[in-house]
Chain A
Amino acid sequence: MPDLSRLSPLKPVLPWLLLALGIAAPFALSSYDLNLLARFMAMGILALGLVLIWGHGGILSLGQGVFFGLGGYAIALHMKLADLPAGELPDFMVWSGRESLPFWWTPFASPAFTLAAIILVPTLAGALFAWAVFHRRVGGTYFALITQALSLAFATLIISRQDVTGGFNGLTDFYSIFGVGLTSPGTGSMLYWITLAILCGAFVALRWLLASRFGILLRAARDGENRVRFLGYNPTPFKVAAFAIAAMLAGIGGALFTLHAGVVSPALIGVVPSIEMVVWVAIGGRYSLAGAIVGALLVNLARDAVSSAFPELWLYLMGALFIFVVTLLPRGLAGIAKGKAA
């Protein structure tokens, strides 16, 4: 195992160096590469949430795709409506014979509603779901299985309601966001910087949260839920709050991803993508916020390189990597950087 702890004199400056590189990226990268990087950063925002619930809360969620999707579809609905001439329907609705907009589409014409929905819908959905499960004291593997069922149900629902969701093909062909053309010069850089800022903001906020008494209690409940309960705490609201925060981050990540990728579809949010999200974090290091971001970037970079050349190979490679990390490197890449594998 390479011992990177020798590099420790670099440690205090490393975050600032990375931040400077991040800010400068639009001047150095092609717009294609910049867009790719922005997408991966959006995924990094979701990955931060998994560190909170999985690493520190011991709550394995195989359903983060659902919340990613809620954020993604929220912004997609808005962009679909914004680009639409008055009185017309999105093309896929016309093709499936609909004559009017579903009532729940209409408020998404408003930018303010859309922004609120991107944040609140995943957060509230996550809180409700987590409360329903945790207050019955269901946890561990059962919880993971229920979240997987949730992501399956969500993707199935979207596919089955082709006429209002765009079905399997999802929603695509966006041209503008809040009045700014997506292809106008400078938009790509601006959206990239916004993504970077949100990623950094989420990172700093979670760092604070994990160091607070809330973070301490979350770890305590992970390691000894009964001890915590019999010290007089009710662990349920702590776990529900953590899950809701992770769902919110997934939703924000999903909205930004949709913006950069120009598409949201069931194939990006279903069972397999939800598992991949856990794999990024397992590889990067589930206890480490920085590790999770690095994991999301590296795995997606690798995916991009491998899956375009050998699409079938990717799933196997990812599976193998996951097993390797979980069995031999429970702290992921962050563990190597800290000089301890276990």
Chain B
Amino acid sequence: MSGSAISDLILSVDGVTIDYSGFKALDGFSMRLNRGETRVVIGPNGAGKSTLCDTIIGRVRPSTGRVIFKGEEIHRLPEQAIVARGICRKFQAPGVLPTLSVRDNLALAARRDRRWWKSLGTGIPADERAAVDEALESVGLTHRATVEAGTLAHGEKQWLEIAMVMATGAELLLLDEPTAGMGPAETSRTAELILGLGHSRTVLVIDHDMSFVEQLAAPVTVMHQGKFLKQGSVAEVRADPEVAAVYLGHTA
């Protein structure tokens, strides 16, 4: 992933400001992601990490700046058009659909034709069915496929949502705190899941758990008060006095 030629660039967040009536959750923030890269974003509570995801998927609209995905400006597109370009996001609070079965949750995500009149049927194409089975397998929920997603344990819900995001086939995955509420064993498993993607997808991971970040062994971007603060390897970021002062100093 060295030598980032222009053609490797998949996402570019360019001087974005998100203004909540005077309060800038993102303040001229910029960041670039290369195709196939895994990037971790850390920062104290309220640093603007979730807002960054919100901006990329079109939940909030920047007052200044641009978001460019695969060479196309996407920050004015409707949400479903952004997803159709190949971006999907896991929410910070698990966003599984509680009254649907685990399988139906995944089938909804794996569906390629999302127009309403194409939903008037019960059959699922073989490739989508296979994608669902694979997704179930990958997060170890095969034996839970028929239960309502709302009855899953917290960690299982997180996995299900990660699997849903993966099943959409999106090229860029935004994972907002995928290990929140997980124990150490579950956290390791989540790291393996993300590492298992290899370089087939571009992944942006937000997390507070530094042991998880270490397992991912990916470059880290540090945010503070809506601004870029530092970037480097986990070790570099850990050793940085400025980062320690605003973030790691409090938690480590």
A interface with B by C-beta (< 8 Å): 209, 211-214, 216-217, 219-220, 223-224, 226-234, 237-238, 241
Contact = CB atoms under 8 A, between A and B. Distances in A.
Interface residues on B, range: 20 to 34
Contacts of B116: 214, 217, 234, 237-238, 241
Nearest to B104: A216
A234 B168 contact: no
B22 interface: no
B80 A234 contact: yes
A217 B88 contact: no
Nearest to A56: B99
Contacts of B164: 231
B59 interface: yes
Nearest to A229: B79
A234 B98 CA distance: 19
A212 B120 contact: yes
A229 B108 contact: no
B100 A220 contact: yes
A223 B107 CA distance: 16
Nearest to B83: A232
Given A224-B95, A227-B96, A227-B97, 6 more contacts: A212-B122, A213-B107, A216-B100, A229-B79, A230-B79, A233-B114
27 contacts: A211-B122, A212-B119, A214-B116, A219-B99, A220-B108, A223-B97, A223-B98, A224-B97, A226-B95, A227-B95, A227-B97, A228-B97, A228-B108, A229-B79, A229-B80, A230-B57, A230-B59, A230-B88, A231-B83, A231-B108, A231-B114, A231-B164, A232-B83, A232-B88, A234-B78, A237-B116, A238-B119
Nearest to A216: B104
A219 to B, nearest CB: 6
A231 B104 contact: no
Nearest to A208: B122
A316 B241 CA distance: 70
Contacts of A212: 119-122
Interface in B116-154: 116, 119-122
B90 to A, nearest CB: 9
Given A219-B99, A227-B91, A214 B84 contact: no
B121 to A, nearest CB: 6
B42 interface: no
B208 interface: no
B80 A213 contact: no
A226 B84 CA distance: 15
A216 B80 CA distance: 18
A216 B57 contact: no
A335 to B, nearest CB: 14
B75 interface: no
Looking at chain A's contact residues, the main secondary structure is helix
A217 B119 contact: yes
B224 interface: no
Contacts of B107: 213, 216
Interface in B57-83: 57, 59, 78-80, 83
Contacts of B111: 213
**Lowest 9 CB-CB distances: which A-B pairs, in order?**
A232-B83, A213-B119, A227-B95, A237-B116, A214-B119, A220-B97, A234-B80, A233-B114, A238-B116
A232 B91 CA distance: 14
B89 interface: yes
B109 interface: yes
A223 B97 CA distance: 6
Contacts of A226: 59, 91, 95
Given A228-B97, A230-B79, A233-B80, A213 B122 contact: yes
B168 A232 contact: yes
Contact of B88 (A219, A224, A231): A231
B80 A214 contact: no
A233 B95 CA distance: 15
A48 B168 CA distance: 34
A213 B121 contact: yes
A217 B78 CA distance: 19
Nearest to A287: B99
Contacts of B96: 224, 227
A232 B84 contact: yes
Contacts of B120: 209, 212-214
B44 to A, nearest CB: 25
A234 to B, nearest CB: 5
Contacts of A214: 116, 119-120
A211 B122 CA distance: 7
A228 B80 CA distance: 9
A52 to B, nearest CB: 14
A330 to B, nearest CB: 13
Contacts of B97: 219-220, 223-224, 227-228
A241 B118 CA distance: 13
Contacts of B108: 216-217, 220, 228, 231, 233
Q: Which of A211, A216, A226 has the most CB of B within 10 A?
A: A216
A214 B164 CA distance: 18
B175 to A, nearest CB: 13
